[in-house]
Amino acid sequence: MGKIEELRLLKERSKRFFETAKLQIKHQFYDLAIFSLEQALQLFLKTKLLDFGVDYPKTHSVRKLLEIIFEVTPKNYKVKVKEVLDKYLLELGILEDAYITSRYVVREYRKEEAEKLLKVVEDVIKKLT
C-alpha cells in the first residue's frame, strides 16, 4: 500500500471512529465512546504526520504524537499544536488512559465525561486540520 492510500484510509478510519463515538454516546456506551474518541484522534494525528512527510511511530500516545508533530512542523503550525497541548493536557491524558483501560482495567465513564471528550477531540481536529 502506498503512502497516499494509507493516508486516505487512516483519515477515513479516523472519521468513522469519531462518528461511532457519537452513536456510542447516544446509546450510553460511554467507555466504548471514549475509546473510539481516542482512536479517532490517534489516527487523525498519524495522518497529520504523514501530511508533513513524516512516518508515524508505533505509539498510542496522543500526547507523544502531538509532541512529534510540534517538532517537525513549521512555526505557524507549532503555535496551534502548543495551544492544543496547553489547553487539553488533562483531557489528552484521559484519552490515553481510556486506550489502556479498555484492554486491561474495568473503568466506567459518565455521560458528561464522554460528551466533554467528544468536544475536545472535535476541537483538536478542527484546530489542526
CB 63 within 8 A of CB 85: yes
pLDDT tens-digit profile of 72-122? Answer: 999 999 999 999 999 999 999 999 999 888 777 778 999 999 999 999 999
Domain 3-128 fold: Four Helix Bundle (Hemerythrin (Met), subunit A) (1.20.120)
Reported as type and span, the H/E element at residue 68 is helix 62-72
Confidence of residue 1 (pLDDT cuts 50, 70, 90): confident
pLDDT tens-digit profile of 45-75? Answer: 999 999 999 999 888 899 999 999 999 999 9
Q: How many residues does the chain have?
A: 129
